[in-house]
A and B are shown apart, each in its own frame.
Chain A
Amino acid sequence: MARVKIQMQSVSVWYGAQPALRQVSLDVAEGAVLALIGPSGCGKSTLLRVINRLVERTPEAKIQGRIWIDGEDILRPEMDLVRLRKRVGMIFQRPISFPFSIFDNVAYGPRLHGLKDAFELRRVVELSLKQAALWDEVRGKLRRPASGLSGGQQQRLALARALAVNPQVILMDEPTSALDPGSAARIEELVVKLKGQYTVVMVTHNLQQAARVSDFTGYLQAGRLIELGETSVIFTAPRDRRTEAYLTGQID
């Protein structure tokens, strides 16, 4: 078993009086891909957003419990959010391209963190675009507006942008649900390629996708982590009745 990268202990989140996550505890091994599945509104996205503490943007959000990344308690009040989010990148459900050029999109993070040297910036942008398998399509067009790219290209651009700050963990919130099957397949390939180098936590509605790309799968229902285990085990022999009901389409 590899080293533990992310460790959550009894994490609960409320939006006002509304509980979104209840007493979730889990470990994610370094370099593994963890897929989170479950019905809509089960708390999957909240679970992602608590790892980079983006959940705190929601008014009246309240967090309880502990989360460690590499043994560092990231929920403590004096935690530096800039440093946390540099280590933990995020890809959203709708491909977000910032209203700038392709180059400036990818360079947004590095510039933010103080990289000014034009040569070095260019190197980072090129490397990130290559990692996100977008380089061949956009080389020579880096000064064009990113909004001219297709949805699938924009999602890979978002990945390149996240990779450009050199994170260790990547959170993906249904990264392919807004994409056509072809573009979705490319993102899946990328996730498989990133495995080992990055720790990935991925929320998905697509069970086949979870089965294809993840090492571990967690099933959430009504804010509770019902079951978490190796993907092959969860999909073939779930221990919990509720997981089985969801996998066989009895809960939606």
Chain B
Amino acid sequence: MMKSGKHLQRLASVATLAAMVTLLWVIIALCREGLMHWHWWVLWRRPRELKAGGGLGPELINTLSMVALAECLSLPLGLATAIWLGEAKLPRRVREGLDGFFISFQSIPAIVVGLVAFEVLVGYFHWPLSVATGTLALTVLNVPQVVVFSRQAMAAVPDAWREGSLALGATALETVWRMVLPASLFALVDQLGLSFARLAGESALLIFTAGLNVGPHWGWFQPGETLAVHLWQVRTEGLMPDRAALAAETGIVLLAITALAIFGSKVWSLRLKAYQSGPGGGGP
């Protein structure tokens, strides 16, 4: 028994190491390729279709604004749903059913969500492929994720704290607002960073909701190509002579956004958490 456990542990360590090496190799290769050809001006120049020397300015702005807007829309929606699911007096079956629904909704392929968004917004409402359409598609994709991670974050709040709050005369809603949310804030912030990174890297559903090009200026109903989509487009059907370098540079920018979102939220989250557990390392 002991022996097989040890073997299993060794196997797991090797697998972990292999996964990490592969990932690091990908990142290092990308950084090498991108940094060799790195030009700062890609951050603000407009893309060029046929000539070398184009940039990613509009794509960068589209990515940041669409993801931020999608978070702004999906966060309150998902959080409110999670609060209702967790704190309202629901029959156990209903709660478990809805939890299951959101958990399974998470694994619906993004492209299918994109298809539905396309059918409804573009097909039925005749919206153009645009920033607005893409943002709404991202929102729909993100809501179940927000519901699931908020549920987990709030479920981790000890029931004794809720009880303590209720015993002081707080209503259920006040307890959510003054106890459950502040106490789960660090976990929510942490997940927010991951969610931001995930959406920034989303490509499939944006191809047919936000489009493959950019408008002359930012606008709701302007075409809203993002970095991830641009990367795919440049590498598959790009005609500019410097497409290999441009793709690698796009990759670098995308990677930087992802890293910043994750790192930034982690730091913020840890600061919030440090306050909770205290310098002495914690409560009873």
Contacts and interface: CB of A to CB of B under 8 A. Distances in A.
Interface of A: 52, 54, 57, 81-86, 89-90, 92, 94-100, 108-109, 111-113, 144-148, 151, 154, 158, 161-162, 165, 178
Given A147-B282, A148-B278, A165-B169, A112 B178 contact: yes
B179 interface: yes
A84 B174 CA distance: 16
B165 interface: yes
A87 to B, nearest CB: 9
A97 B171 contact: no
Contacts, number: 88
B183 A99 contact: yes
Contacts of B169: 81-86, 109, 112-113, 165
Given A57-B163, A92-B160, A96-B161, A109 B168 contact: yes
Contact of A90 (B167, B170, B182, B282): B167
Contacts of A113: 169
A54 B280 contact: no
B174 A112 contact: yes
B282 A94 contact: no
Contacts of B165: 98, 108
B178 A145 contact: no
Interface in B170-207: 170-171, 174, 178-179, 182-183
Of listed B161, B166, B183, B279, residue having the most chain A CB within 10 A: B166
B167 A89 contact: yes
Interface residues of B, number: 25
Given A85-B166, A147-B278, A162-B168, A94 B160 contact: yes
* Chain A binding surface SS class: helix
A83 B165 CA distance: 14
A89 B163 CA distance: 12
Contact of A145 (B160, B166, B277): B277
26 contacts: A54-B167, A82-B169, A85-B167, A85-B169, A92-B163, A92-B164, A95-B283, A96-B161, A98-B164, A98-B165, A98-B183, A99-B161, A108-B168, A112-B168, A145-B279, A146-B283, A147-B278, A148-B278, A148-B279, A154-B283, A158-B164, A161-B164, A161-B168, A162-B167, A162-B168, A178-B284
Given A96-B160, A96-B164, A161-B168, 16 more contacts: A81-B171, A82-B170, A84-B169, A85-B166, A92-B167, A98-B165, A99-B182, A100-B182, A108-B165, A108-B168, A109-B169, A112-B174, A147-B276, A147-B283, A148-B280, A178-B284
